[in-house]
Structure 1
């Protein structure tokens, strides 16, 4: 049975999960036996949304009102006082396959399709999503399950097609602060006349995702039609994948993976390749940084991940090539959206102060993409990429892409900063990527685009007592103090070997 209540916007941010609020003594709650955490279905006009129910005591709501979180309000297209029909949500049949997976039963094609369809349709609340992600974490997905899940995720949203016979893309599996090579690779490759429609994620567990960094320079939430126009005009783009409904189930999973901080080779492969397939790519280069404190910590783990990516790509008709790179320390100087954008601009503009490690890493990847896509002969990609960057053609192309996406802008500056100095003289022999990333996040990144860390003590450098090792940037004194307290409590954020 369905009951109608009056809609009330409560202004509660539950991120992307629709949540409804009803009084405990509401006639609907009592008649239907609704309890906190019940899955319910809301309907306002033609819009239907699955939501999680929270039960309220006291005077926040009247008995005939249903309170709506921001996500629920926007999804329903409601207005104050509009009638909202409330009923029990239909049974989540696909979750039986998740329970089976928890108990060791593999996911087949049908199960993967059903689960992904329900996730993309918004029918999985966060608690069920967490169960699915946990069931797939670690090495719990085999290659066949990974392929089935990738195919289901790629088919759940729109699929883009391009007139070019070869459409290239690149991806980094992450775990390396400051590694913003995409913002350099795309304009280099596009300036060579290739098609590179790049969709990128926001940060999951890092202080900045590619989309977060690009957003400090140009709009990234531009929609699929605008993305198509940008690529047709300039040959490439750098947009947020969440705004273009490509592999929409992946965007939902990423939202829940972020707080869980669970890694899974199978989910990583499905996430990466489903987005590439949906974006219309035919050839993909994937960077796998390896380091003691990177996401991938050993050469053996990197080779296993590369083998799975390449095998899944082959099964799905996608040419995938993986490169294993050094993940022992951050790339560039900036860690955080705006600080990383400043590094990118310095490289594009040929500044003498540009971080050379970022430049060289981006050139190597751009050269690999040019060779993989057939624009450069084997072994000749690096030289072509360097020529395009040094001539200014890549900078011109980047400006054109930004203009097509809505306009190039200056990255913001933080209001507060503090320099952390070396307490010991010696040579830097160790850097903890994870702790540096945590420090940048405590300073406010990526939520505060200008927040983060400027890292000034790369491996092999020699420090004197009192020499700056890093600078913390934050928008408020409180956030700066919070981050500084963490930094001062770490004994091995940067490991210095005594040179005496």
Structure 2
């Protein structure tokens, strides 16, 4: 510490700012006055040999004493101060990657070193959200070429942990996304592990969708496993489905996604780097990509799909990955449930071979599992899809899935909400299209994924003949207020289902 006048006592604010470190200081704080801090200043906080760059929020009433600095949850855990700790707080030095960021904003190609500096500053929280938004915007569309995409992927891998596994073939599967439901991952993992493959699957939680794979899996088993626990599960059962945030794989990706999603900007290069950096960090050698294509999916045309496929292949080749891409139907949701518990119920129905199991989820899961088995054939497997179907129909995949759940901490049967409202067809006709994005919004307004039992249960699909009064879908909620929000949105958007 340089002097007492530049130090403040650290306290915990108890405010969740997600991945953004924030510090709260009173406007009459002597450090604020002497340093000339204003709201949203970037400040460096040094305490007990640790340093963190945070965004300043200024408190103008008496909720905060003038001699303390209150840290958001993310900042508190990053510094991990002891009781009564003090910190020196100064203006933060400009990030080393500032020149690289400006170069990309003005359309220049970034070198591998420049990309590495940007990613490292991202992980170290040295870039503000405004700077991150500028980077995301500068890379939007096709503004990253293949060389830059490879450099970004490598930088993202190097900035986090990497896992090493024994065995020649470590398989993984990822869906590019954009479809509500589409909970094929637990099914593919169960089939692949039952076939004897090693499939250590790390999955994400939802950010703007009604459920991520980790949210759905968490309904049935714990997913918040650290690296050692994850390795024990995989050693025992050959596969897992855990939350990737616990093992810190490609941490820059999680930060960029946080900024990218609200902007609703698609970047082919960042998409490919996001997916493959996590696969490489997780130790995968063979990767299957599910690429849904549809007018309201993430990839909206075959032209876009072709461009993304070429970028995936170029990047995978640079890292020695064996890659297969399955271009699939993205015109409507997959399965009937949208929301954690409803999607978990779909998964279990398919695994158990229930007569009411959604056929499209079963078929897509078999297609993807078969493609994965063809990519890395286990002994005695002549046809991937035939082998996958046999494992599913015999119950071997179900038994393996339950064993994985037990190894992760115990299997739990999903429960469904009792607060249900049926949305009915207003006129007779044929369902010609479903707006995936608006239907996902309905499930979110109903409370998903925070409310696990909330969401949407589909009754009709594209191509079905309907009569006025038929049920289109059921709304599930855990509170009357969220049910009312969802119903209001449905009433205001009668074109979620195109019926003619």
Q: Which TM-score bucket, shorter chain as reference?
A: over 0.9
1:93 alignment partner in structure 2: 96
Q: Is the 8 A contact 2:381 2:387 kept in 1?
A: no
Question: 392, 396, 415: which is aligned to 2:395?
Answer: 392
1:443 alignment partner in structure 2: 446
Matched, 1:78 2:81: yes
2:369 alignment partner in structure 1: 366
2:339 alignment partner in structure 1: 336
Question: Residues 473-484 of structure 1: matches in 2 within 5 Å?
Answer: 473-484=476-487
1:153 alignment partner in structure 2: 156
> 1:415, CA displacement in angstroms?
4.8
Distance 1:446 1:50, change over 3 A: same
Question: 237, 240, 253: which is aligned to 1:237?
Answer: 240
Question: 301, 313, 332: which is aligned to 1:310?
Answer: 313
How many angstroms apart in 2 are the aligned matches of 1:125 and 1:341?
37
> 1:390, CA displacement in angstroms?
0.7
> 1:216, CA displacement in angstroms?
1.1
> 1:227, CA displacement in angstroms?
1.1
Residue deviations 1:220-245 (CA, integer Å, cap 9, x gap): 11011111111111111111111111
Distance 1:361 1:253, change over 3 A: same
Residue deviations 1:31-61 (CA, integer Å, cap 9, x gap): 1111111111223334432210011212111
Shifted more, 409-418 versus 422-431: the winner is 409-418
Q: Is the 8 A contact 1:444 1:475 kept in 2?
A: yes
Q: Is the 8 A contact 1:415 1:476 kept in 2?
A: no
Q: Is the 8 A contact 1:310 1:319 kept in 2?
A: no
Q: Is the 8 A contact 2:477 2:483 kept in 1?
A: yes
Q: Is the 8 A contact 1:293 1:432 kept in 2?
A: yes
Question: 23, 28, 40: which is aligned to 2:26?
Answer: 23
Matched, 1:172 2:172: no
Structure 2, gaps ≥5 residues long: none
> 1:479, CA displacement in angstroms?
0.8
1:348 alignment partner in structure 2: 351
2:219 alignment partner in structure 1: 216
1:297 alignment partner in structure 2: 300
> 1:119, CA displacement in angstroms?
1.4
> 1:417, CA displacement in angstroms?
1.9
Secondary structure in 2 aligned to 1:221? coil
How many angstroms apart in 2 are the aligned matches of 1:382 and 1:213?
25
Question: 183, 197, 201: which is aligned to 2:200?
Answer: 197
Q: Is the 8 A contact 1:291 1:298 kept in 2?
A: yes
How many angstroms apart in 2 are the aligned matches of 1:75 and 1:112?
24
1:56 alignment partner in structure 2: 59
Structure 1, gaps ≥5 residues long: none
Secondary structure in 1 aligned to 2:78? helix
What TM-score do you get using the length of structure 2 for normalisation? 0.96
1:32 alignment partner in structure 2: 35
Q: Is the 8 A contact 1:49 1:75 kept in 2?
A: yes
> 1:378, CA displacement in angstroms?
8.9
Residue deviations 1:168-195 (CA, integer Å, cap 9, x gap): 1111100011001001000100111111
Question: 277, 282, 299: which is aligned to 1:279?
Answer: 282
Q: Is the 8 A contact 2:333 2:436 kept in 1?
A: yes
> 1:376, CA displacement in angstroms?
7.2
Matched, 1:251 2:244: no
Shifted more, 371-380 versus 220-229: the winner is 371-380
Question: 417, 422, 426: which is aligned to 1:419?
Answer: 422
Matched, 1:225 2:194: no
* Number of residue pairs aligned between Structure 1 and Structure 2: 497
Q: Is the 8 A contact 2:200 2:240 kept in 1?
A: yes
Matched, 1:464 2:500: no
> 1:379, CA displacement in angstroms?
7.1
Distance 1:387 1:169, change over 3 A: same
How many angstroms apart in 2 are the aligned matches of 1:402 and 1:121?
34
Question: Residues 264-275 of structure 1: matches in 2 within 5 Å?
Answer: 264-275=267-278
Question: 163, 169, 184: which is aligned to 2:166?
Answer: 163
Question: 434, 438, 448: which is aligned to 2:437?
Answer: 434
> 1:416, CA displacement in angstroms?
2.2
Secondary structure in 1 aligned to 2:56? strand
> 1:377, CA displacement in angstroms?
8.3
How many angstroms apart in 2 are the aligned matches of 1:262 and 1:444?
25
Shifted more, 250-259 versus 346-355: the winner is 250-259
4+ residue runs of structure 1 moved beyond 4 angstroms? 376-379
Shifted more, 222-231 versus 64-73: the winner is 64-73
How many angstroms apart in 1 are the aligned matches of 2:107 and 2:396?
53
Question: 127, 131, 136: which is aligned to 1:133?
Answer: 136
How many angstroms apart in 1 are the aligned matches of 2:415 and 2:47?
40
How many angstroms apart in 1 are the aligned matches of 2:416 and 2:128?
37
Root-mean-square deviation (CA), in Å? 1.6
Residue deviations 1:115-160 (CA, integer Å, cap 9, x gap): 1112122322322222211111111111110000001111111211
Q: Is the 8 A contact 1:204 1:257 kept in 2?
A: no
1:206 alignment partner in structure 2: 209
> 1:360, CA displacement in angstroms?
0.5
Secondary structure in 2 aligned to 1:352? coil
Distance 1:174 1:80, change over 3 A: same
